[in-house]
Amino acid sequence: MPVRPVFHGGGPVPGNAPPSGRRRARRLPRTVTAVAAAAALLPVFGTAHAAQAEPGAATSPLQRAFGDAAEHYHVPQSVLLGVSYLESRWDGHQGMPSVTGGYGPMHLTDARTALTDFPGSAVGDGGDGRGDDSRPLITSATIEAPDIAALPASLTTLDRAAALTGLPADALRTDPADNVAGGAALLASAQKSLGEALSDDPADWYAAVARYSGADDRATATSFADDVFDVIRQGQVRTTDTGQQIRLAALPSLRPAAGQAARVGLRRTNATGTECPPGLGCEWVPAPYQETGGGDYGNYDLADRPHDEKIDTIVIHDTEGYWDTAMQLVQDPTYLGWHYTVRSSDGHVAQHVKTQDVGWHAGNWYTNAKSVGVEHEGFLTDPDAWYTEAMYRSSARLVKYLAAKYRIPLDRQHILGHDNVPGPTGSYISGMHTDPGPYWDWGHYMELLGAPIHATAGSWGGIVTIDPDYETNQPVYTGCVTAGDTCPAHGSAAVRLYSAPSQDAPLVRDIGLHGATGASTTGVNDMGARATAGQQFAVAGRQGDWTAIWYLGQKAWFHNPRRDPTAVNALGLVITPKKGLDTIPVYGRAYPEASAFPAGVPVQSLTPMPYTVPAGQRYVVGGAVHGEYYYAVTFDPASHQVVRGKQLYYEIQLGARIEYVRADDVTLLPSLLGAP
């Protein structure tokens, strides 16, 4: 059965069009006008003082282009590089436009051309994000995105760059050097319009950088500028999508000149009531809590977390739809409510539900009751258009703040993708969504969270943490646009899992997703044979350049060459079935034992998943929890209560998704290879 609306993430929804058809909406949404009205769109993400190349080192053509443009337009090279980094991480994306019609390393926007060449389509039908059998399924109405009536200046910056430089529009879209020149001209123009000199000191360019963001509110614009200056302070070195190395030297002491922040201007948003870190562009767009007739209500549940239930998980989603559509849906009382949405273009954040309350977002009621849901505007099959550096950085700032507030560990056992959330029972598995998908850069995201993936043991540790090089790790996926067709080559945070140490071997099976005889596929939404950056698995064997892990009750192999490893070694705790047990059950939720339920609260059955853990296999433990169930089926919270049990569970990384096992069924061990 469907889990939630397609715009909330990517799994196939039975009875509807295949995922490829429903996620067709590419690049520029038809909502551009409304998006621009809600907040500025043009993301110019940036960083650092364009560092000089190391003495004697070869300088790439793109690095020279930044230097030439900086000199010609009198813009500090660090500022130009920093803005471009935040906008595109210096990538050109093969000349394809972003969600807001931005082209090239400097994200020059040409929405009219983007709409003509890459027309989008609205998305929006789905199902139940609550994942609780105690209430009927929520049915959603399709909401069409509005048509574009006019384009704001933030979506036509390429036209202005053409006028300032005299370069043809086509060259600004397709030639990286010309694109960089256009961005430099826009920055210089913004500096002049603020009445500032074309200073050699990057500290004098804070307000111009904020204006370049395209945001129409001060908080988002200054948040963008803060991120740019943070990148400049830290410095960056990266190889772009065309194989060119770009360097930005660190300027650790750089601070904006006094008074620059006050020069930004722009409107102030309503941040009253929001739970966001200082300096993050954040506004309150509340989801309604109201009765809808017939005893039903929407679209979240009142609670008193963390006093009544601990918040121990943050779930990362993508909307599978546009910002405006998400804002309409989250304010529809017959729909679903989640806690935050992060905008693609500039990283602007809207909060909809207080973190103390339970949002309906994950498709698993147990997960909902203990988590915060963070949506990200975009489509998982179109990462270059939607998964922007501004979005990553704003999201990371928000998640890091929430993790500190609720003492949530910054690891992949507690910072989950929606594609890591288990179905509550086996019947839900095929409908669970797959966002943010294999193209979400988990390695980069964890670095931004201040918790980079790294080795914590040698090969004796008994655990591996998946950690492929995102840019060069490019497994073949299918179905991004048309079912069965190969997706464009792209970096990925996931590795593919085989039944033997060979890429010619069949993929490992997922009996919950495909049945006992069905095969896993290379489909972009097929989670059956995939392990993703940050996830940890117990080592089951090694052979040459291949490593085997325990996965869904079987031995799964992935390519892990010593010269270019796709995983690092780790040490931790694992579970294995107790002696004398051939197999043990696993569960998609950690509910209390039947005896813990008081009168008036229906007993929630402890239903095993179709998976089991056979004797001798090991799975990494993410945490230990006692069974809990939040009973909330009425509009009046007076009847709501938390049922707590004595049964202890371990959260384990069973496959692509986490699951739970009863502590009574397993032995807890150190992961050391050779440990009893």
How many whole angstroms separate alpha carbon 99 and alpha carbon 35?
A: 11
Residue 7 scores a pLDDT above 60: no
- Residue 389's SS3 state is helix
- The least confident of 78-92, 145-159, 245-259 is 145-159
Instruction: Provide DSSP, 270-313.
Output: --TT----TTS-EEE-PPP-EEEETTEEESEE---TTTSS---E
Q: Is the pLDDT of residue 416 over 90?
A: yes
| Region 209-215 average pLDDT | 91
* 140-170 burial: b if 16+ Cβ within 10 Å, else e: beebebbebeebbebbbbbbbbbebbebebe
| Chosen CATH of 40-109+156-263 out of 1.10.3470, 1.10.540, 1.20.120, 1.10.530 | 1.10.530
Choice between 498 and 121, residue whose per-residue pLDDT is larger: 498
Instruction: Write down the pTM of the prediction.
Output: 0.85
Q: Is residue 124 pLDDT above 80, yes or no?
A: no
Mean pLDDT of 29-57: 33
Residue 59 has pLDDT above 50, yes or no: yes
Interval 186-209 mean pLDDT: 95
Q: What is the pLDDT of residue 522?
A: 96
Residue 308 has pLDDT above 50, yes or no: yes
Question: Taking a C-beta distance cutoff of 8 angstroms, is the pair 631, 646 a contact?
Answer: no
Alpha helices in 501-544 (DSSP H): 511-514
Task: Work out the angle at residue 6's Cα, subtended by the Cα atoms of residues 5 and 12, and round it to the nearest 5 degrees.
Answer: 115
Q: Please report which confidence band the pLDDT of residue 32 belongs to, taking 50, 70 and 90 as the band edges.
A: very low
Mean pLDDT for 105-116 is 87
Average pLDDT over residues 574-594: 97
Q: Considering only the C-alpha atoms of the chain, give the largest distance between any 2 of them, rounded to a whole number of Å.
A: 79
219 CA to centre of own chain: 22
By CB atoms closer than 10 A (0-12, 13-18, 19+), residue 545 is: middle
Does the structure show a pLDDT above 60 at 384? yes
Contact 251, 76 (CB under 8 A): no
Domain 1-30+111-149+269-452, second-level architecture: 3-Layer(aba) Sandwich (3.40)
Rounded Cα distance, 32 and 567, in Å:
40
**Mean pLDDT in residue range 219-223:** 88
Q: Is 409 helix (H, G, I), strand (E, B) or coil?
A: coil
Extract the tokens encoding 663. 């502590």
Mean pLDDT of all residues in 215-225: 87
- Across the range 45-69, mean pLDDT stands at 62
Is the backbone of residue 165 left (phi > 0), alpha (psi -120 to 50) or beta? Answer: alpha
Helices (H), 407-518: 442-448, 511-514
- Mean pLDDT across 633-651: 95
C-alpha span between 32 and 36 (Å, rounded): 6
How large a percentage of the chain has pLDDT more than 70?
86
User: What pLDDT shows up at residue 675?
Assistant: 62
Q: Give the CA distances from residue 530 to residues 13, 419, 558, 654, in Å, rounded to whole numbers and listed in that order.
A: 20, 11, 9, 11
pLDDT at 56: 36
Residue 401: pLDDT band with limits 50, 70, 90:
very high
- Tell me the C-alpha distance between 401 and 399, whole Å: 5
Q: What pLDDT does 58 receive?
A: 60
Report the pLDDT value the prediction gives residue 114, as an integer from 0 to 100.
81
Res. 558: pLDDT tops 50: yes
pLDDT of residue 16: 27
Regarding predicted confidence, which is higher, 124 or 267? Answer: 267
Q: Which residue spans of the chain are classified as CATH 1.10.530?
A: 40-109+156-263
What percent of the chain shows pLDDT beyond 90?
71
Cis (ω within 30 of 0) for the bond into 306?
Answer: yes
> CA-CA distance, 668 to 676, in Å (whole number)?
10
Q: Where in the chain is the domain with CATH 3.40.80.10?
A: 1-30+111-149+269-452
- For residue 122, pLDDT beyond 80: no
DSSP string, 571-589: --EEEEEPTT-SEEEEESS
Confirm if 419 and 117 have CB atoms less than 8 A apart.
Answer: no
> Are 472 and 535 a contacting pair, CB within 8 Å?
no
Highest mean pLDDT among 261-275, 378-392, 506-520: 506-520
Question: Looking at residue 345, what is its pLDDT?
Answer: 87
Alpha carbons 353 and 288: distance in angstroms, whole number = 9
Looking at per-residue pLDDT, the higher value among 249 and 16 belongs to 249
Q: In whole angstroms, what is the distance from residue 125 CA to residue 250 CA?
A: 47
Res. 34: pLDDT tops 90: no
Comparing 328-342, 349-363, 638-652, the range with the smallest average pLDDT is 328-342
Write down the pLDDT at residue 335. Answer: 86
113 has a pLDDT exceeding 90:
no
**Confidence band, pLDDT 50/70/90 cuts, at residue 483:** confident
